[in-house]
């Protein structure tokens, strides 16, 4: 009878060890999967941030180019007056002679 009880206790101990190892392995697997997903999410966030920064930069560049073109056009018109401006200047000079 003692042999049977000892055998059952050994079997129970083995089963307990196997369950503990399986639980430890499962927790390890879950932990590793969680770390992988966190790394994946972090990578996606970085990609989104870079894309947003690139869009902001390109929008800023377009806006800067637009203002630069407006300034160039304004400066060009000031330096080389239009025909109307020339006519007004001539009229002004003729009136003041």
pLDDT band at 90 (very low <50, low <70, confident <90, very high): confident
- The pLDDT of 5-21, averaged and rounded, is 92
pLDDT of residue 44: 92
Taking only the tens place, the pLDDT of each residue in 26-81 is 999 999 999 999 999 999 999 999 998 888 888 888 888 888 887 777 666 666 66
pLDDT of residue 76: 62
Query: Which SS3 state, helix, strand or coil, does residue 18 take?
Result: helix
pLDDT of residue 82: 66
pLDDT of residue 95: 74
Report the distance separating Cα 90 and Cα 97, nearest Å: 11
pLDDT of residue 80: 64
Q: How many helices (H) and strands (E) does the chain have?
A: 2, 0
Domain limits at 56? 2-95
- The pLDDT of 12-31, averaged and rounded, is 93
The total of structural domains in the chain comes to: 1
What is the DSSP code string of 35-83?
A: HHHHHHHHHHHHHHHHHHHHHHHHHHHHHHHHHHHHHHHHHHHHHS--H
């Amino acid at each position: 009878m003692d042999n049977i009880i000892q055998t059952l206790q050994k079997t129970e101990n083995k089963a307990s060890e196997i369950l503990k190892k399986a639980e430890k392995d499962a927790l390890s697997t879950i932990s590793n999967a969680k770390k992988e997903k966190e790394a994946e999410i972090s990578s996606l966030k970085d990609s989104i941030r870079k894309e947003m920064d690139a869009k902001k930069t390109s929008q800023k560049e377009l806006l800067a180019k637009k203002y630069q073109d407006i300034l160039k056009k304004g400066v060009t018109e000031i330096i080389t007056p239009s025909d109307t401006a020339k006519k007004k200047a001539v009229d002004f000079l003729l009136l003041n002679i």
